[in-house]
């Protein structure tokens, strides 16, 4: 819940206490996915720094990066793409999602990343 609601101090305390950063909810949502979906950049940064799995998908296949693109969280998308590990095929899929949702700046950002892959 701390990640979902942007409570970075609580997230950092939990990480420091040894909490499992990839512990998933009933639907497979991880703290990173919830923070990415809601655009909490500082929480995403803390979880990424703690080595949360940025590719761990929810039961419906949604990853933290997919959630960030769907919800127009540009800064989170930049952070997760810069982290690396996103393949060209996934980037192309995300460009399609960005276009469908009329998130032109995100589509451009993702296209630039795909060109570098």
Residue 21 lies in a domain: yes
State pTM to two decimals: 0.92
With 80 as the cut, is the pLDDT of residue 85 above it? no
Interacting residues of 28 by C-beta distance below 8 A, sequence separation 6+:
56, 57, 58, 59, 60
pLDDT digit string (tens) for 51-73?
999 999 999 999 999 999 999 99
pLDDT at 77: 96
CATH number assigned to the domain comprising residue 62: 1.25.40.20
Residue 23 has pLDDT above 80, yes or no: yes
- What pLDDT, on the 0 to 100 scale, is given for residue 49? 95
Look up the domain containing 25 and give its range: 8-116
∠ CA(85), CA(12), CA(38), 5° rounding? 60
Task: Assess if residue 2 is contained within a domain.
Answer: no
Predicted local distance difference test score (pLDDT) of residue 31: 97
Q: Within 10 Å of residue 43's Cβ, how many Cβ atoms? A: 27
102 inside domain: yes
Asked if residue 1 belongs to a domain, the reply is no
Mean pLDDT, the chain, integer? 94
Please count the structural domains in the chain: 1
In a domain, 3, yes or no: no
């Amino acid at each position: 819940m701390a990640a979902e609601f942007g409570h970075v101090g609580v997230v950092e305390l939990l990480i420091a206490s040894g909490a499992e950063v990839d512990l998933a909810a009933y639907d497979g949502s991880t703290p990173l996915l919830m923070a990415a979906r809601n655009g909490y950049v500082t929480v995403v940064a803390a979880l990424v720094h703690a080595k949360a799995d940025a590719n761990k998908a929810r039961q419906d296949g949604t990853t933290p990066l997919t959630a960030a693109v769907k919800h127009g969280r540009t800064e989170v998308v930049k952070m997760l793409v810069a982290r690396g590990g996103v393949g060209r095929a996934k980037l192309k899929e995300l460009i399609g999602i960005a276009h469908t949702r009329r998130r032109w700046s995100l589509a451009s950002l993702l296209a630039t990343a795909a060109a570098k892959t």
